[in-house]
Amino acid sequence: MIIRFQLDGSSMETDVEPGTSLLEALRGLGATSVKDGCSHGDCGTCAVLLDGRAVAACLLFAAQVDGSSIETVAGMAGEEGLHPLQSALLDAGAVQCGFCTPGILLTALELLKNNPDPDEVEVRQALAGNLCRCTGYVKIIEGVLLGADRLAGAEGGS
Partner 1 sequence: MGKFTVVGTNERKVDGRALATGQPVFVGDIPPREGLLHLALLHSPHPHAVIRSINTSRAEALEGVALVLTHLNTPTVRYTTAGQGHPEPSPYDARVFDSKVRFVGDRVAAVAADSEEAARRACELIEVEYDILQPVLSLDEAMADGAPVIHDEDDALDVWAAERNCVSHMVASAGDVAVGFAECEGVVDVTCETQYAQHVPIENHIATTYLDEDDRLVIVSSTQVPFHVRRIIARVIDVPVHRIRVIKPRIGGGFGVKQEVLIEDLPALVTMRTGRPAVLEYDRAQEFVSARTRHPMRVRVKLGAKRDGILHAIEMEVWSNTGAYGTHGLTVLSNVGSKTLPLYNKAPHVKFWGEAYYTNLPVGGAYRGYGATQGYFALETAMDRLASELGIDALELRRRNHIRTGETSPIFAALGEGREGVEQTITSCELESCIDIGSDHIDWGAKRGLRHTDGDWVHGVGVSIHMQGSGIPLIDMGAASLKMNDDGSFNLSIGATDLGTGSDTILGQIAAEALGVPLEMIIVRSSDTDLTPFDVGAYASSTTYVSGMAVQRAAYDVADQIKTVAAEMLEVDANEVELTNERAGPPEGDSVSLVQVAHRSLYGVNQRQIGALASCVPELSPPPFLAAFVEVRVDVVTGKVEVVDFVAAVDCGTAINPQLAEGQVEGAVVNGIGYALMEEMIFDGKGRCRTTDLGRYKIPSISDVPPLEVVLVESFEPTGPMGAKSVSEIGINAPIPAIANAIHDATGIWLTETPFTAERVWRALNGHGS
Q: How far is the CB of 36 from partner 1 (least distance, A)?
A: 7
The bridge status of strand 2-7 relative to strand 69-71 is parallel
Instruction: Using CB under 8 A, pick the residue from 52, 67, 98, 116 that binds partner 1.
Output: 98
Rounded alpha-carbon distances, angstroms, from residue 150 to 6, 79, 100, 106: 28, 18, 22, 17
**Are the C-beta atoms of residues 91 and 126 closer than 8 Å to each other?**
no
Determine if 100 is a binding residue for partner 1 (CB under 8 A). Answer: yes
Determine if 153 is a binding residue for partner 1 (CB under 8 A). Answer: no
Restricting to residues 58-87, name those near partner 1 by CB under 8 A: 72-74, 76-77, 82, 86
Other CB atoms within 10 Å distance of the CB of residue 148: 23
> Which positions touch partner 1 (CB under 8 A)?
27, 30, 32-40, 42-43, 45, 72-74, 76-77, 82, 86, 89-93, 95-102, 105, 123-125, 127-141
